[in-house]
Amino acid sequence: MAELNETIHQPVRLRIMAALVALDAGSEVDFTYLRGLLDVTDGNLGAHLRKLEEAGYIAVNKTFVERKPRTYISATGAGRQVFTEHVAALESILKGK
C-alpha cells in the first residue's frame, strides 16, 4: 500500500511544498509572499517552515535587504523527491488502490 509522508501531508505544509516545487530548482520565495499565498499567520507559517527545514525538505535563507531582515525559502533536492513520491502515493490512494 502506498505510504503517505506525514510531514508533508499536513495541509499547510502540503501547500508550502507544492508552491515551492512548482518553481524551478533553486528558486526561492520570500516569507511574506508565502504568508499571503497561504493566508496564515507569521507564527503558524514559521512553525510549519521549521518542521520542513528540520526534515531537510526546504532551505531557509535569512538575510538583509536594505537593512531589513528578509527570509527566502526554497525546496531542497530531498524535498522535491519526497514531494514527488507523496503525490504518487496520493494518486494511488485516491484511485482506491
> Which residues form the interface with a copy of itself (CB under 8 A)?
1, 4, 6, 9, 11, 14-15, 18-19, 21-22, 37-39, 87, 90, 93-96
Shortest spacing between CB 19 and a copy of itself, in angstroms? 5
Phi-psi map region of 30: left, alpha, beta (phi>0 left; psi -120 to 50 alpha):
beta
Shortest spacing between CB 2 and a copy of itself, in angstroms? 9
Q: Comparing C-alpha atoms, which of 24, 25, 16, 34 is closest to residue 72? A: 34
- The 3-state DSSP class for residue 66 equals coil
Which residue lies nearer to a copy of itself by CB, 1 or 65? 1
Shortest spacing between CB 16 and a copy of itself, in angstroms? 10
Angle value at C-alpha 92, between 86 and 95, nearest 5 degrees = 140
Shortest spacing between CB 48 and a copy of itself, in angstroms? 14
Which residue lies nearer to a copy of itself by CB, 30 or 66? 30
* Chain Cα centroid distance, residue 12: 8
Kindly state the cell numbers that stand for 53.
527545514
